[in-house]
Amino acid sequence: MENRVENHVVLGMEPPQNLVEITVDGKPVRAREGEKILAALLAQGIIVNRYTVKRGEPRGLFCGIGQCTDCAMVVDGKPNVRTCMTPVRAGMVIETQHGLGRRANGTE
């Protein structure tokens, strides 16, 4: 499933971009190189980015401008990456973040 805004009333037409493959929670996902990770995930119907520390509640898109942390995910082993501000590049490994997230070396 792919659901993208191709022609925005304010931003105009989106130019075609190269398709690349990223991995999201162990599954291959096709995304447009350079688009924000969050946009690529939303286009595939993925709306949960992280689960809160205390209650384990799901979080996803909220502000979309890097001011909150609701879209934070683990990207290439680095926790707390704001996916609304981070562009896609080929081969990225993205994981849903649980709590504070874990670094590649296993620490929080």
> Hey, what amino acid is at 47?
I
What does the pLDDT look like over 60-85, one tens digit per residue? Answer: 988 887 888 899 999 999 999 999 99
Query: What domains lie within the chain, and their CATH numbers?
Result: 16-98 (3.10.20.440)
Rounded-to-integer distance, Cα 95 and Cα 49, Å:
8
- For residue 6, is pLDDT > 90? no
Gyration radius of the chain over CA positions: 14
What does the pLDDT look like over 80-101, one tens digit per residue? Answer: 999 999 999 999 999 999 998 7
Q: Are strands 78-82 and 50-51 parallel, antiparallel or unpaired?
A: unpaired
pTM of the model as a whole: 0.82
